[in-house]
A = this chain, B = another copy of it.
Amino acid sequence: MYTLNIITHRREEMIDVTREIQELVAQAHVHSGIVVVQSPHTTLGVTVNEHADPDVARDMLSHLAQLVPQSPTFHHQEGNADSHIKTSIVGPSVCLIIDQGRVQLGPWQGIFACEFDGPRRRTLWVQIIPRPS
């Protein structure tokens, strides 16, 4: 298992980790398999979406904040119930395909850590499973 350290700078932020994940996969010399990218945090999710235009991430964060606003009516007393809920909506991990030694991503796809309760020092865990030949 590999560990990736990231630093977030705002309460809500999409951090593009595509290059870092591709580097881990390249160093593992796995031709074909899968990679699991998992958040060990309960207020940081993981997703795949467009990373060419940063407005996509911006729209996603603002619309999720509209769907799940911070609110004093939540029972969880830390003021971040919205962050927990958004993490489960986006998901705590992604499972992606490795082929020809690389994470297979479409031309517009990037892998994002979704910070919903920053800024913080965060970690992603990465597991690479080769396909037995």
A-to-B contact residues, CB < 8 Å: 1, 32-34, 36, 38-42, 47-50, 53, 55-56, 58-60, 63-64, 67-68, 74-78, 81, 84-85, 87-99, 104-109, 125, 127-132
Contacts and interface: CB of A to CB of B under 8 A. Distances in A.
A47 B132 CA distance: 27
Copies of the polypeptide in the assembly: 3
A48 B38 CA distance: 10
A38 B96 contact: yes
A28 B105 CA distance: 23
A42 B49 contact: yes
B42 A104 contact: no
Contacts of A76: 53, 55-56, 58-59
A55 B84 CA distance: 11
Nearest to A104: B125
Contacts of A129: 33-34, 129, 131
B1 A49 contact: no
